[in-house]
Amino acid sequence: MPSVRDNPVKHRYEIREGDQLRGFADYELTTQRITFTHAEVDPAFSGQGLARRLVGEALDDARRRGLAVLPVCPYVRKVIKKHPERYLDLVPADLRGRFGLPAPTTGQP
């Protein structure tokens, strides 16, 4: 079964099965934020849910590390939009509009 791991030397999360790289999600990291810039899966492995798993585990790791997420990568934005209950809070509220994500509601009618 493929596994996802952070490769800080290459600034990316990788999904691998054994020694075989199947996909990756590039990032730029600061002390408080992680900016996902690009994600891709080898076309030979498309349709297996690897991209979704890769990005989901990368976002879960960002949460564990207390990092805000800037989803420059369109696929990362897609995952956040599809699962806002799980990931939207990772994106700073004041920057969500920049990425086409919903702004927080004020609670007023």
Which residues pair with residue 39 across a beta bridge? 25
d(CA 23, CA 99): 23
Q: What is the pTM of this model?
A: 0.93
Query: What are 16-56's pLDDT values in tens digits?
Result: 999 999 999 999 999 999 999 999 999 999 999 999 999 99
How is the chain split among helix, strand and coil, in percent rounded to 5? 40, 30, 30
Domains of the chain (ranges; CATH) run 3-92 (3.40.630.30)
Average pLDDT of the chain is 94
Query: What is the torsion angle, in degrees rounded to the nearest 10, for the CA atoms of residue 39, residue 48, residue 16 and residue 10?
Result: 0
Query: What are 61-90's pLDDT values in tens digits?
Result: 999 999 999 999 999 999 999 999 999 999
Q: Does residue 109 surpass a pLDDT of 60?
A: no
Residue type, 99: F
Distance of CA 95 to the CA centre of its chain: 16
Q: Does residue 107 surpass a pLDDT of 70?
A: no
Q: First-to-last CA distance in the chain?
A: 48
- Contact by Cβ (8 Å): 73, 83: no
